[in-house]
Structure 1
Amino acid sequence: MNLLCKTLFETAGRALCPLVIFGLILLGGCARERTPEDVLLQVGDQTITLSEYDQSVRMAKEEAFPGERQVDPEMLADLHLRVFNQLSEELVLASYAADRGIMVSPAELEAAVDAIKADYPDDTFEETLLENAVSFPLWKRRLQARLLAEKVIRETLVDEMRITPEDVAEYHATYYPQGVPETEDRDAVHQRIVTHLRRNKGEAGYEAWIADLEKNYPVAINQTVWESYMQDTP
């Protein structure tokens, strides 16, 4: 069961290097004990606290290694970095969305929550979260962030991809060499092809696209909090 709503493209596997290259800012801090509400990541007014990051790691760990108490340290370190990059990108996308007036409505969020809860027996969904020390309000905020990321990617990247007649013809030659069967609706088939091609082009162009956004929306990292957290994490 997935507790994390996946974004349109799998971005969690990106290395940290692109953030360093494209405008990473290190936030210093005095040598004091960190608290769960310390800001770890920030882009403009958008922030991720240490608590939000830690609980996001817990959710990702349960998704990747369900029920496992002991996880290989290298795999766990990789998971930490993937979540770190994922949250960083979500902050970039959230800031970009705010500037463009893109948002997830309460109705859209509640529909997504209900759809996920429907896969669980009565009352077990929130119990599953609590077993992993994840609060429902935080889980809901994380879901909203992922939904917003999906919407931004779809509306400003995928839907803007130009599909040429040559693209469609090539697809037909590969998958419909004998033509569209009479039993299928040609208009519906055409629309599916265009949607598929736009998604593929969007996925291929995502890395360069998000890198450009990161130049305009640099991610500020509280290095003191990050290093302290990682030192204390088994």
Structure 2
Amino acid sequence: MRRVILILTLLFLIAGCSQHPEEKGVVARVNGKPIYLKELESRYDLNNIGWVSGIIPSVESMSEEYGNVLSELIVYKLVGDALEAEGLSVSAEEVEKEEAAIRADYPDDLFERTLTEEYIDIEVWRLFLKRHLEMKLFFNDVLRPKISLTYQEAEQYYKDNLSEFYIPERVHVLLIRSNDRKAVLRSSVLLEKAEDWKKVVETLPSDVVVRELKLKKNRLPHQWASALQQLKPKTSSNISTTAYGYEQLVLLSVLPEKLLGPSQAYAVIERVLIDQKMNSAFMDWLEKQVASAQIKVTPLLSQKLHEKNNDENPVDSAPIQEEASAEPADESGGESEDGDGI
């Protein structure tokens, strides 16, 4: 409910904004600091990476999405102001380190190709990566020190949510994959006999991939459940052919069901309750900031979104309904032709 109130507060501010143009390409100002049309459109594109459809979004759906994106950009500005007041900032080195970690998940040049295919500028992507890190910094260094958790709260959560700490029966297995059938077979034989399977994995050929899995028996893929049901610990399934090549399972052990005790569950409980308290504290902080901040948004976005939609879909476009949200202007790369802004 409080999130709804916050969004309504932001949308009310958007509806009651200034109409005095000041600068080309500016769609909003937060405490005097501008938010540019290019930022709005870039964030919208980032949020919709991978969206594919032959249907042009309706004015109403685009209006809602752009309103949400603009609200997000307003929050970034407010958080940035708070960090500045605390003397905190995210360094270029921290951004580079985070980018390197993300790139490590993409083979070869897939990272660049993904951005290129989605028409995302790398510098824009880095800007929002920095803002993501600023949000983490705000939560960890500004909000977290103000949050406390008592043992009584943790104990009560444990009692009220006992079912969350029940762990059903699981299987501990190794999944072996390779394009070489004989390599898979040789690997499974070695792993069955090994006292320390991790040491054996280090000696296997580079084209053999071994993954350790602990899976709930009631959540196993059908083909795996059938194979594992017939196995005893330290034995292997038959080799199967998949889209990944040849595949075989080695059953290491069956883990019995159990209920975590309070001390075992405390780390999980602490994370859940701290997250809840942090989110609540953030919403309290944000509502106060929105109430006291000077937030101005151009009302011309709604008109320009309607014009853009008509240009792209002249037959099916419906008359625009004025809403208390912000929509995109033209696609002139950050500047409107008539110079409207705030």
Structure 2 length-normalised TM: 0.53
Which residue of the partner structure matches residue 18 of structure 1?
A: 9
Unaligned runs of 5+ in 2: 167-258, 310-342
- CA apart distance, 1:96: 1.3
Which residue of the partner structure matches residue 107 of structure 2?
A: 121
Match runs of 1:1-234 below 5 Å = 16-20=7-11, 26-30=17-21, 38-44=25-31, 46-62=33-49, 66-73=51-58, 74-173=60-159, 174-175=161-162, 180=261, 186=263, 190-224=266-300, 226-234=301-309
Query: What CA deviation, in whole Å up to 9, does each residue of 1:122-147 have, x standing for no partner?
Result: 22322322323221101110111122
- CA apart distance, 1:83: 0.9
Residues 24, 158 of structure 1: alpha-carbon distance in 2 compared, 3 angstrom cutoff: farther
CA contact (8 A) 1:41 1:220 kept: yes
SS in 2 for 1:163: coil
CA contact (8 A) 1:41 1:219 kept: yes
Alpha-carbon distance in 2 for matches of 1:27, 1:70: 34
- CA apart distance, 1:179: 6.3
CA contact (8 A) 2:15 2:299 kept: no
Which residue of the partner structure matches residue 3 of structure 1?
A: none
Alpha-carbon distance in 1 for matches of 2:117, 2:134: 27
Residues 127, 200 of structure 1: alpha-carbon distance in 2 compared, 3 angstrom cutoff: same
Alpha-carbon distance in 1 for matches of 2:113, 2:307: 27
Unaligned runs of 5+ in 1: 1-10
Residues 76, 25 of structure 1: alpha-carbon distance in 2 compared, 3 angstrom cutoff: closer
Alpha-carbon distance in 2 for matches of 1:71, 1:23: 25
- CA apart distance, 1:39: 1.7
Structure 1 length-normalised TM: 0.74
Over the aligned positions, Cα root-mean-square deviation in angstroms equals 3.2
Letter in 2 for 1:138: V
Task: Report which of the two has the higher share of strand.
Answer: 2
Alpha-carbon distance in 2 for matches of 1:219, 1:24: 11
Say which one has the larger Rg: 2
CA contact (8 A) 1:55 1:133 kept: no
CA contact (8 A) 1:26 1:221 kept: yes
- CA apart distance, 1:21: 5.4
Alpha-carbon distance in 1 for matches of 2:282, 2:31: 22
Query: What CA deviation, in whole Å up to 9, does each residue of 1:116-171 have, x standing for no partner?
Result: 22232322322322323221101110111122122213332344222122201112
**Matched residue pairs, number?**
211
Alpha-carbon distance in 1 for matches of 2:99, 2:48: 20
Task: Report which of the two has the higher share of helix.
Answer: 1
Residues 208, 128 of structure 1: alpha-carbon distance in 2 compared, 3 angstrom cutoff: same
- CA apart distance, 1:55: 1.4
CA contact (8 A) 1:42 1:221 kept: yes
Alpha-carbon distance in 1 for matches of 2:19, 2:260: 62
Residues 87, 229 of structure 1: alpha-carbon distance in 2 compared, 3 angstrom cutoff: farther
Alpha-carbon distance in 1 for matches of 2:135, 2:38: 21
Alpha-carbon distance in 2 for matches of 1:14, 1:58: 26
Which residue of the partner structure matches residue 253 of structure 2?
A: none
